[in-house]
Amino acid sequence: MRHIVPALRRNLTRAAGRVPAPKGQKRPTHDGHDPALTISVASYNVHKCVGTDGVFDPGRVLSVVLELGADIVALQEADQRFGSRRGLLDLKALYEKGGYRSVLDQGSRKLSHGWHGNVILYREQAGNVANVHKMTLPGFEPRGAVLVDFEFSGHPIRIIGAHLGLLKSSRARQAEAILDAAHPVDDRAVILLGDTNEWRTGGRSALKPFDPHLSDVDMTIASFPSRFPLWPLDRVLTNRHVTVYEMQAVETELSRIASDHLPVKAVIGVTRGIATG
């Protein structure tokens, strides 16, 4: 236990994630250019809408999503896992109250909101969907990812929403598959949002295949478990065309109980990828 305690202390002091940078102070950009577009993104594992009190309450999750106020929100575990895989959220209410649409409203599973529980929500007034690709990820468990090309004020942005597996070997293979599909070295911003199920950092991390093309915004922001966050499972990774202004785990009275994960949110700037056509 001796080697675990210091790590716990580091996570406790850095749970930090709550306000990582002074307001108005931007983190270093990947390529040194000033961003031409600024948007907010978030990732939230909603735990099939079952809260830390054991109560199934999609309304609480919906309220947390609305409180985030992000332009793009990637959700995990937003569908039933078995049977009809019915979507668990009220998409009509999300649109009426927050202007959010799901990129997979017309998914192949007519009752599902997403793909393997992954849902990407976006605000119509913020951008348009150019292309959607559903990925089946390798590994022992059935897992998937959703890759979406958006256009925001003429800027192409590739968003990937993913929920990686519980086995480290599976996570490494899934990271490789996502990286191959993401093409993060072309002239556009790429942002990965999701529950990585990975708490390790550096060479021990199953996310190592992403290096150096997709960089973890902050590996020390604890988001799980929501009542007493210790582990940085929920991540935001970006390529070199993205500047990060702020990153935080959003901890409120409601988010601590609505799911066993806290949502994470980042304010980012796009420095490349201006559409010409």
Per-residue pLDDT of the chain (277 residues; tens, 9 = 90+): 333 333 443 444 333 333 333 333 345 444 555 667 899 999 999 999 999 999 999 999 999 999 999 999 999 999 876 555 667 898 899 999 999 999 986 444 566 677 888 999 999 877 788 889 999 999 888 899 999 999 988 889 999 999 999 999 999 999 999 999 988 777 889 999 999 999 987 778 999 889 889 998 888 899 999 999 999 999 999 999 999 999 999 999 999 999 999 999 999 999 866 655 4
**Cα 14 from Cα 110, distance rounded (Å):** 42
Q: What is the DSSP letter of 138?
A: P
Domain boundaries, the chain: 35-270
Which residues have C-beta within 8 Å of that of residue 13, sequence separation ≥ 6?
none
Strands 72-76, 37-45: pairing is parallel
What is the CATH architecture assignment of 35-270? 4-Layer Sandwich (3.60)
